[in-house]
């Protein structure tokens, strides 16, 4: 476990010095914040909800890169060594994916800095402080849920040398299915139903909830759904990854890019 933790920190440090990953998170969060601040100013939308949405878009941008990280490691020529070491190869993949998705958490303070800039669409520090426990718990749930989904996708991507090509195809469906573009009070029925099978949907719903919802158990329901569905997706990732790794070893594609 200590070795895996050191590997996690190593990969996190490596990604934090790679311009592509920095640009992905910063540009995604920055563009989402600018567009939404203009929207809030023009149409009077909820600034706090838009602030959360900017953070979630930046987070998802990093997680889609985490899904394609298998292709990045393959192009570096290190995938074969990751999957052939002493540790369980699936655990090695997990540390790489988790470190990449964890890097996306910097979109939260970045989004906050962009939204407290004075202006008609700015959010107040008092509002953020009032929701701070909810933001902290919700951010962890969002990271956990997006990571397990990314693990499933990354497990399948072991099979293909074109994983990085498919990153952009993941982002829009993931944002829609998780309910990022809707608030807690106007969630479409289909997105609301996805809370029971798609982990990020319940974590996003949790972040959007009004604080008064804690009194009728909606907070606890979202937390329970997020954890339960995340465990289910971890099991799916394990079996898919095991099958994909076996197939890639038979086909000899681990070093192909």
Dihedral, CA of residue 68, residue 69, residue 74 and residue 80, to nearest 10: -120
For residue 69, what pLDDT is reported? 75
What is the model's pTM?
0.87
Q: Which residue has the higher pLDDT, 216 or 204?
A: 204
For residue 113, what pLDDT is reported? 92
Q: How far apart are CA 203 and CA 152, in angstroms?
A: 18
**Least confident segment among 25-39, 44-58, 131-145, 237-251:** 237-251
Residue 151 binned pLDDT confidence (cut-offs 50, 70, 90) = confident
Residue 169 · residue 63 · CB < 8 Å: no
For residue 31, what pLDDT is reported? 92
pLDDT for 257 beyond 50: no
pLDDT for 227 beyond 90: yes
- Per-residue pLDDT of 161-203, as tens digits, reads 665 666 667 767 877 888 888 766 667 778 778 888 999 999 9
Q: How far apart are CA 67 and CA 64, in angstroms?
A: 5
| Mean pLDDT score across all residues of the chain | 81
Q: Please, which residues have CB within 8 angstroms of residue 243's CB and are 6 or more apart in sequence? A: none
Q: How far apart are CA 94 and CA 16, in angstroms?
A: 18
pLDDT (mean) for 102-122: 90
Q: What percent of the chain has pLDDT over 70?
A: 86
Residue 53 binned pLDDT confidence (cut-offs 50, 70, 90) = very high
- Per-residue pLDDT of 61-102, as tens digits, reads 888 777 777 777 777 777 777 777 677 777 877 888 888 888
């Amino acid at each position: 476990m200590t070795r895996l933790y050191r590997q996690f920190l190593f990969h996190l440090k490596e990604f934090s010095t790679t311009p592509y990953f920095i640009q992905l998170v910063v540009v995604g969060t920055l563009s989402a914040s600018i567009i939404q601040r203009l929207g809030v100013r023009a149409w009077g939308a909820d600034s706090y909800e838009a602030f959360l949405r900017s953070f979630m878009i930046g987070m998802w941008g990093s997680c889609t890169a985490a899904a394609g990280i298998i292709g990045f490691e393959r192009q570096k020529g290190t995938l074969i060594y990751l999957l052939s070491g002493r540790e369980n190869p699936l655990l090695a993949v997990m540390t790489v994916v988790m470190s990449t998705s964890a890097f996306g958490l910097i979109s939260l303070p970045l989004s906050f800095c962009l939204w407290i800039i004075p202006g008609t669409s700015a959010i107040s520090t008092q509002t953020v402080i009032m929701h701070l426990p909810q933001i902290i718990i919700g951010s962890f749930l969002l990271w956990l849920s997006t990571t397990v989904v990314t693990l499933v996708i990354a497990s399948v991507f072991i099979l293909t040398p074109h994983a990085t090509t498919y990153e952009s195809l993941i982002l829009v469906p993931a944002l829609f299915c998780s309910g990022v573009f809707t608030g807690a009070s106007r969630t479409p029925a289909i997105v609301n139903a996805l809370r029971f099978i798609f982990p990020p949907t319940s974590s996003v719903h949790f972040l959007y909830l009004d604080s008064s919802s804690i009194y009728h158990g909606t907070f606890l329901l979202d937390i329970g759904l997020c954890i339960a569905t995340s465990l289910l997706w971890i099991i799916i990732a394990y079996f898919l990854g095991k099958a994909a790794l076996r197939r890639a070893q038979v086909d000899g594609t681990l070093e192909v890019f």
